[in-house]
């Protein structure tokens, strides 16, 4: 019998994240929550929180519940080129941390679509701050940032997938259902990774990474906001466009670049 892949569930705070509340824990090798998403279910394994996460909203750690902050995810992010190119929003930050520290076979996202134009609550707990849509020079294209993550994760053997059933997402990952992931075999996973790699425009990837090196927007402490006078938004947009080109053949319908401030 084919073995099962190690799947890490990464949960954000969009309202549809509540779909996972009843999913059995044994379907996952681990559950990583971002910021307030630790409240979705009590059996999470890791909480990755922003530096400005309010202390009064912090849960209690425990033997099987670990809490990680900037001291943990900044070094992880730096191994992938730093925050400016990865995108300074917690969905990307927590994902890179998970790929670096957990090395799952599959990183499955839920509640991270970063779509805020639906009526009603913006977050599962009510109305919250739409962090990815703030005025931030690193977030000009959330689609490009997710494309970059998809490619970097694949290099480390991790397939990023989206468990969302919403009609739109800023994530460009393959969409799977919970049952798809639950029944995923290692042989099918190997085939999916190969299909994705074959569809990536390697020339565009190499060009994007060459520009990243040329521009040199790397700040070891992660505090890129202290260097905004050094960062050219037009140059970052050039990098983003290349990451989008790199995955254009993988996305159907064809990927349409969106402005993060829509």
| Residue entry with tokens 């099987």 | 64
**pLDDT classification of 258: cutoffs 50, 70, 90:** very low
The whole-model pTM stands at 0.90
pLDDT score at 160: 98
Percent of the chain with pLDDT over 70: 87
Residue at token pair 């996460």: 53
- Residue where the block lists tokens 């970097």: 152
pLDDT category of residue 252 using cuts at 50, 70 and 90: low
Average per-residue pLDDT for the chain: 89
Per the omega criterion (within 30 degrees of 0), is the bond before 253 cis? yes
**143 pLDDT higher than 60:** yes
Q: What is the mean pLDDT of residues 103-113?
A: 96
pLDDT band at 118 (very low <50, low <70, confident <90, very high): low
Answer for the pair 171, 153: CB distance below 8 angstroms, yes or no.
no
Q: How confident is the model at residue 123 (pLDDT cuts 50, 70, 90)?
A: low
Residue 250 pLDDT grade (very low, low, confident, very high; cuts 50, 70, 90): confident
On the question of pLDDT at 61 being above 80, the answer is yes
Average pLDDT over residues 102-108: 98
pLDDT at 136: 87
Asked if the model's pLDDT at residue 124 lies above 80, the reply is no
Which one is predicted more confidently, 130 or 107? 107
254: phi then psi, degrees, rounded to nearest 5: -50, 135
């Amino acid at each position: 019998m084919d073995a099962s892949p190690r799947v890490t569930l990464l949960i954000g705070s969009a309202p549809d994240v509540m779909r996972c509340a009843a999913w059995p824990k044994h379907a996952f090798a681990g559950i990583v929550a971002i910021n307030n998403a630790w409240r979705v279910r009590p059996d999470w394994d890791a909480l990755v929180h922003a530096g400005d996460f309010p202390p009064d909203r912090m849960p209690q750690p425990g033997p099987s519940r670990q809490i990680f902050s900037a001291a943990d995810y900044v070094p992880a992010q730096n191994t992938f080129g730093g925050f400016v190119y990865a995108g300074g929003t917690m969905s990307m930050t927590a994902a890179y941390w998970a790929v670096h520290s957990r090395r799952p076979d599959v990183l499955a996202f839920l509640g991270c679509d970063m779509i805020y134009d639906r009526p009603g609550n913006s977050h599962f707990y009510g109305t919250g701050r739409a962090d990815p849509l703030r005025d931030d020079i690193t977030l000009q294209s959330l689609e490009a940032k997710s494309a970059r993550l998809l490619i970097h994760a694949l290099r480390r053997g991790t397939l990023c997938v989206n468990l969302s059933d919403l009609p739109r997402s800023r994530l460009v990952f393959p969409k799977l259902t919970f049952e798809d992931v639950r029944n995923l075999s290692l042989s099918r996973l190997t085939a999916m990774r190969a299909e994705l790699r074959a569809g990536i425009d390697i020339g565009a990837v190499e060009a994007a990474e060459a520009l990243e090196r040329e521009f040199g927007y790397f700040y070891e402490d992660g505090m890129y906001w202290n260097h905004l006078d050094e960062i050219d938004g037009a140059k970052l947009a050039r990098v983003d466009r290349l990451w989008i080109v790199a995955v254009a053949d993988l996305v159907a319908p064809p990927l349409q670049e969106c402005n993060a401030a829509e």
